[in-house]
Amino acid sequence: MSIAARLRSYGNLVAFSHTIFAFPFAASALVLARSYSTTALTPLRVLAMIVCMVTARTSAMAFNRYADRDVDAKNPRTKTRHIPSGEVKAGEALALTAGSGALFLVAASTLGFWPAVLAPVVLVVLLGYSLAKRFTWGAHAWLGVALSLAPGGAWLAAGATPNAGIISLMVGVLTWLLGFDVLYSLQDEHFDRGEGLHSIPARFGLTRALVISGVAHVITVLALGAAGFFLHRGPLFFTAVVGCGALLTYEHALVGKGNLEKINKAFFDVNAYVSVVFFVFTLADELLRAHA
């Protein structure tokens, strides 16, 4: 296999395209931190932040594929993934985990005291998610915490002090991820239950899982709105909140009473729109404020 093909396999292994879920919220936090930052946002600093986000996510996803290789091989939905199919060796995934994790720690060390100190803790949280479903149906929330660290980390790396605004944004991201991950895991409800794996659908069943997901997304909209209130945002920011609420409503309408054939569209398309819409309107709101 050529180097280009090998790199493409690694990119697909870690679902690099799914960075669209986390990156816009991290970028939004960076925009929102502008009024609270005491640190100059130089091109090198921004580059280090991007390296942190990409390498942390790559390390986490590579370890997830490594940790789940045996389970994935048994699941009809996932048996064609890269490790079960033999396209990528388990050792390669583990090496990618270690290399990306080390690069994340190095990049974080250039961003100041707190990013350097907290980076190992962040890595433990990210890698720990891959083992969570073996002992808790709260794994969806664990994944939400992992994703919420992206905007939280961007805020700290920008030199801003934690406040109610960024905490609200992180809660919004956490519950957003929790809600759509519950919907996605509906596909594996029976498989997880049979294999002794833990998830909200396997623990509570389809109907209650849909309710839990819906409640999580109501909290998402409220938390994003609270972030705008605490950070003194303008009308375009709150337009983003309303837009995200509309998209999440559409997501639940797609899945309905367990309409599993629509889950991929709901998971990949709608949630990408949520994060991008939020960033675009957050940026527009900040530009409007800057030129007011």
Task: Choose among 241, 226, 234: nearest CA to 279.
Answer: 241
Q: What integer pLDDT is reported at residue 263 of this predicted model? A: 80
- Is the pLDDT at 17 greater than 80, yes or no? no
pTM of the model: 0.93
Reply yes or no on whether the pLDDT at 162 is more than 80: yes
**Interior CA angle at 40 toward 38 and 44, to 5°?**
140
Q: How many domains does the chain have?
A: 1
Whether 1 has a pLDDT exceeding 70, the answer reads: no
- Buried (b) or exposed (e) across 214-233, using 16+ Cβ within 10 A? bebbebbbbbbbbbbeebeb
pLDDT of amino acid 102: 98
Q: Higher-confidence residue: 167 or 6?
A: 167
Name the residue with tokens 């502008």.
34
The confidence band for 256, taking pLDDT boundaries of 50, 70 and 90, is: confident
- Residue-wise pLDDT tens digits, 71-92: 999 999 989 888 998 888 999 9
1 or 231: whose pLDDT is higher?
231
pLDDT in tens, 41-63: 899 999 999 999 999 999 999 99
Between residues 257 and 5, the one the model is more confident about: 257
What pLDDT is stored for residue 2 in this prediction? 54
Confidence label for 268 from pLDDT (cuts 50, 70 and 90): confident
Predicted local distance difference test score (pLDDT) of residue 21: 72
Q: Write the CATH number for 68.
A: 1.10.357.140
User: What is the mean pLDDT of the segment spanning 2-6?
Assistant: 55
CB within 8 Å of 127: residues ≥ 6 apart: 59, 60, 63, 97, 101
Average pLDDT over residues 157-176: 96
Q: Write out the residue range of the structural domain in which residue 100 sits.
A: 3-290
Whether 4 has a pLDDT exceeding 60, the answer reads: no
Residue with the larger pLDDT of the pair 6 and 211: 211
Q: How confident is the model over 264-275, as a mean pLDDT?
A: 82
Q: Please say if the pLDDT value at position 5 is more than 60.
A: no
Residue 254, pLDDT score: 87
* Chain position carrying tokens 């309107």: 281
Lowest average pLDDT, out of 68-77, 131-140, 261-270, goes to 261-270
Mean pLDDT of the chain: 91
Q: What tokens appear for 148 in the block?
A: 């919420």
